[in-house]
Amino acid sequence: MEFIKLEKVRDGKYLKSYELVYRNKAGREKKYEMVSRRDLSGIEDVGGKPSGVSIIATCCDRLLLLHEFRMGVNRMVYNLCAGMLNQDEQIEDCIARELYEETGLRVKRIKKILPPSFAAVAISDTTTYIAFVEVEGSFEDHTSENEQIEAKFYTRDEVRALLETESFSSRAQLAAYFFAEQGIMN
């Protein structure tokens, strides 16, 4: 595959739409649509800087899950606490801020922060960290009027039951499965 050019086609508040022109392996010129959370000046910028974090949080052998309304799918889904990095914000500060904003909880200990991974490789260059944290405190609602989030801790048995009947984001579903079945997140 050979990249030819990148052109911004829409500049939204949170997402920017681009058209990539490339030459496929048969030598034909093709167009591909993608979105980014960042302004891209060229192909060298694609996937260049992490934009957020997904937080896999536990407390007393229970998993934190958010049950939240997601506009893009017009329904409540189970998700991880997550959010966008502010400009010049350190990842540890972002973890603490997002956790507090969405749940009222505090970070007790950061166990591991994985290197950034692509969140939706078919449509976006967005990369996010995945953080494993132990949390403490009590739930408080600090969300904006544009968010509908119910935060709760779940036992392994409760998570197993949710996995059979409820809608999840893919990362939350994977985290929930491994928490419930493998216990590898302790």
Phi first, then psi, for residue 112 (nearest 5°) are -165, 140
Residues 87 and 167 in one domain: yes
CB 161 within 8 A of CB 154: no
C-alpha pair distances (Å), 166 with each of 20, 100, 143: 36, 25, 23
pLDDT tens-digit map of 125-165: 999 999 999 999 999 988 889 889 999 999 999 999 999 99
Domain span at residue 145?
A: 52-182
* CA of residue 102 relative to chain centroid, distance: 13
CB 126 within 8 A of CB 115: no
Residues 27 and 100 in one domain: no
Residues 22 and 89 in one domain: no
How many domains does the structure of the chain reveal? Answer: 2
| pTM (2 d.p.) | 0.89
Residues 29 and 61 in one domain: no
The answer for residues whose C-beta is within 8 angstroms of residue 102's C-beta and 6 or more apart is 66, 81, 83, 142, 143, 147, 149, 151
